[in-house]
């Protein structure tokens, strides 16, 4: 919990002054029954007269006005501090998530990370507001009422103390029973978010396969699972108010019985009885507030543990310090590299060694799941190799700063991902503040200049995920984004799959004409890589063959099978 104090540091005085103002309000509220006692005992029954009654009434009105002003100030301070706390935690959490490597992101899951960043931080934010507003006030009212009852009459005070202890025990038991279910509820919320995200992202697929009923049933099952867990929480929490009211009301009944004998014996006054009953009512209200706080803090505690789990996740890819590249060394070298994903003992790459010369065009081909994408993800350190060494321009990639290393690469992933904004803002991911000439040159290389010009140029809006562009257009825009910064190493991961053969050929010719650029082409099409300087054939995480097209066709059965099958398919 200490780690979260830093996010409240800039609101320290608001927290302190807000808490003090609430404490002042609580003190005034505790003094009101004593003033009322004196008004009854002295003003009404003791001959103080109407002047004393009016003076007492005016004093209570003044105390109420001061308490109201303190409550307003506390409410404002709590709102500002809690909202600022939530913003700071959310910013820090998002920044930390962006430091994590693919390995940690794969383990935590995108749907869970979204839920933690939004819903769980909201729960913590609400808890901070309640801490400032009520955590000091409610226990102080309850404890102060008990102490004042003991001062007025120690025997009746013991009854009040026993009632307060019993209510506290009920609160503790309820909290202990419900905490695990709140944690499960957040995990089930993750599942709901995951299913919702999958259906929104894959809406076209769901409709194309007529699977709306199936997906609705899957969502209903997850929602019902969450409902069942919530009902268990509700059944446990349902005992809270009845037990609290029963204990407090039973205590009031005993107090009235005992105080009746004491008044009859002359050991208690009417004002004492009124004050004690008021204090008992204050204890009841305070306990109701505490019971609600228990529910809120139980949720917040479960959320805090989930957020802390993300903060505790340390990036497996750590930053180096070197920014110096040996431009005369090979662009990429791998020496006996093995790699496995998190949570599995199966290796996706085994004993891979290769050398990619500077300025070369390299093709990588193989069947689905052969390790092609995994291989190139190691070059810019999207993952770190489990064993072996990955070098870029003569130095182990672990020695480079991530910013310097990834600045040498232009990566076009398998899934063409665009961000909402404009064509220009998407291209500026490849080079910040790129000029119009640089952007247009990149669009021409990617064969995207014509359709972008027809649509509206560099200021053409891009909707979420680039849904206002076709699959082939999105692929060409992602290629333009990668080449606008003129990277030293360009990785095209099956990024031309949606293009026709003519556009594909023109695009490859444009990329081949780039000066001083090492190009790595991953493709399912043998025709797309046949002119590469060297081709690597992947099979089950190993290199099954390497060489030029003609050489591999003669000597590598797997490559020949791929080429022949595609030739027959074309015929």
pLDDT at 498: 67
Tokens found for residue 475: 């692929």
CB 177 within 8 A of CB 221: no
Single out the residue of 177, 179, 187, 142 nearest to residue 161, CA to CA.
142
Tokens found for residue 17: 């002054």
The Cα–Cα gap between 487 and 410 comes to 5
Task: Give Dmax (Cα) for the chain.
Answer: 120
Q: Do domains 10-312 and 332-570 have the same CATH topology?
A: no
pLDDT at 335: 92
pLDDT at 46: 64
Bridge partner list, 546 = 536
CB 480 within 8 A of CB 446: yes
Count other C-beta atoms under 10 Å from residue 254's C-beta: 15
The Cα–Cα gap between 385 and 261 comes to 83
The per-residue pLDDT string of the chain (571 residues; one tens digit each, 9 = 90 and over) reads: 678 888 888 888 988 898 899 889 888 888 888 888 888 877 776 666 787 788 888 888 998 899 899 989 998 999 999 999 999 999 999 999 888 887 888 788 777 788 888 888 998 998 888 888 887 788 888 888 888 888 888 888 888 888 878 887 887 888 778 777 877 877 787 788 778 877 877 777 777 777 788 888 888 888 888 888 888 888 887 887 788 778 878 887 888 788 777 777 777 777 778 888 888 778 777 877 877 777 788 778 878 888 888 898 888 888 888 888 887 889 999 999 999 887 777 888 999 999 999 989 999 998 888 888 889 989 988 888 889 999 999 889 998 988 888 888 988 887 777 888 898 998 988 888 889 899 999 999 988 888 888 888 888 898 887 888 888 888 889 989 989 988 899 998 877 766 777 888 888 888 888 888 899 998 887 888 888 889 999 988 898 889 998 888 888 888 888 888 877 645 4
The Cα–Cα gap between 260 and 151 comes to 18
pLDDT at 333: 92
The Cα–Cα gap between 143 and 125 comes to 27
Place of tokens 């190993």: 542
What are the sequence ranges of the domains in the chain?
10-312, 332-570
pLDDT at 571: 45
Query: What is the H or E stretch that residue 534 is in?
Result: strand 534-539
Bridge partner list, 387 = 338
The Cα–Cα gap between 416 and 382 comes to 17
- 417 φ/ψ angles, rounded to the nearest 5 degrees: -105, 120
Coil, helix or strand for 522?
A: strand
Strand ranges (E), 316-428: 332-340, 347-356, 361-366, 387-392, 395-396, 409-412, 421-422
pLDDT at 48: 65
CB 447 within 8 A of CB 507: yes
Q: Say yes or no: domain 332-570 is CATH 1.10.600.10.
A: no
Q: Is the dihedral of CA 560, 562, 568, 570 positive or negative?
A: negative
Q: What distances in angstroms separate CA 226 from CA 181, 189, 193, 297, 473, one per listed residue?
A: 10, 7, 12, 20, 41
pLDDT at 45: 66
The Cα–Cα gap between 513 and 132 comes to 65
Tokens found for residue 460: 């053409």
The Cα–Cα gap between 269 and 257 comes to 14
SS3 for 41-108, per residue? HHHHCCCCHHHHHHHHHHHHHHHHHHHHHHHHHHHHHHHHHHHHHHHHHHHHHHHHHCCCCHHHHHHH
CATH superfamily placement of domain 10-312: ABC transporter type 1, transmembrane domain (1.20.1560.10)
Q: Are strands 395-396 and 332-340 parallel, antiparallel or unpaired?
A: unpaired
Instruction: Give the helix, strand, coil percentages of the chain, each rounded to 5.
Output: 65, 10, 20
DSSP single-letter state for residue 5? G
């Amino acid at each position: 919990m200490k780690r979260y104090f830093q996010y409240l540091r800039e609101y320290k005085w608001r927290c302190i002054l807000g808490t003090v103002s609430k404490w002042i309000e609580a003190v005034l509220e505790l003094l009101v029954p004593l003033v009322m006692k004196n008004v009854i005992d002295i003003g009404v029954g003791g001959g103080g007269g109407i002047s004393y009654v009016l003076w007492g009434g005016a004093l209570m009105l003044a105390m109420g006005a001061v308490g109201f002003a303190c409550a307003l100030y506390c409410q404002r301070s709590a709102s500002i501090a809690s909202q600022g706390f939530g913003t700071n935690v959310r910013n820090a959490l998002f920044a930390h998530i962006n430091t994590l490597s693919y390995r940690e992101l794969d383990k935590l899951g995108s749907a869970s990370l979204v839920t933690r960043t939004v819903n769980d931080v909201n729960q913590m934010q609400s808890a901070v507001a309640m801490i400032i507003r009520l955590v000091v006030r409610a226990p102080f009212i309850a404890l102060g009422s008990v102490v004042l009852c003991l001062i007025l009459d120690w025997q009746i005070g013991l009854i009040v103390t026993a009632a307060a202890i019993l209510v506290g025990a009920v609160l503790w038991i309820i909290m202990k029973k419900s905490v695990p279910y709140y944690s499960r509820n957040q995990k089930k919320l993750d599942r709901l978010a995951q299913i919702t995200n999958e259906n929104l992202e894959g809406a076209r697929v769901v409709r194309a396969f007529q699977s709306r009923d199936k997906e609705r049933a899957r969502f209903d099952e997850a929602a019902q699972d969450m409902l069942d867990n919530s009902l268990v929480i509700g059944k446990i929490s349902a005992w809270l108010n009845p037990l609290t009211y029963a204990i407090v009301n039973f205590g009031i009944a005993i107090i009235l019985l005992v105080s009746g004998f004491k008044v009859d014996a002359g050991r208690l006054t009417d004002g004492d009885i009124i004050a004690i009953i008021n204090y008992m009512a204050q204890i009841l209200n305070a306990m109701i507030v505490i019971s609600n706080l228990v529910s809120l803090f139980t949720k917040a505690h479960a959320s805090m543990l989930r957020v802390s789990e993300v903060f505790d996740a340390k990036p497996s890819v750590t930053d180096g310090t070197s920014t110096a590249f040996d431009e005369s060394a090979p662009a990429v070298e791998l020496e006996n590299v093995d790699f496995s994903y998190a949570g599995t003992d199966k290796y996706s790459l085994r004993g891979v060694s290769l050398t990619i010369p500077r300025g070369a065009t390299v093709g990588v081909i193989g069947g689905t799941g052969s390790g092609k994408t995994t291989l190139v993800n190691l070059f810019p350190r999207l993952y770190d190799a489990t064993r072996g060494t990955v070098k870029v321009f003569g130095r182990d990639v672990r020695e480079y700063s991530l910013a310097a290393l990834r600045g040498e690469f232009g990566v076009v992933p398998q899934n063409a991902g665009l961000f909402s904004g404009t064509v220009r803002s998407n291209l500026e991911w490849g080079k910040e503040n790129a000029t119009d000439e640089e952007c247009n040159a990149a669009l021409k290389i990617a064969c995207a200049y014509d359709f972008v010009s027809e649509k509206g140029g560099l200021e053409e809006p891009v909707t979420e995920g680039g849904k206002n562009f076709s699959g082939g257009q999105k692929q060409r825009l992602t290629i333009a984004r990668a080449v606008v910064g003129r990277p030293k190493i360009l990785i095209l991961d099956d990024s031309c799959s949606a293009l026709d053969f003519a556009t594909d050929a023109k695009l490859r010719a444009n990329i081949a004409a780039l000066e001083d650029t090492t190009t790595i082409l991953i493709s399912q099409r043998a025709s797309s890589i046949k002119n590469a300087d060297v081709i690597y054939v992947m099979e089950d995480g190993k290199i099954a063959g390497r060489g030029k097209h003609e050489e591999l066709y003669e000597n590598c059965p797997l490559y020949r099978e791929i080429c022949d099958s595609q030739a027959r398919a074309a015929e």
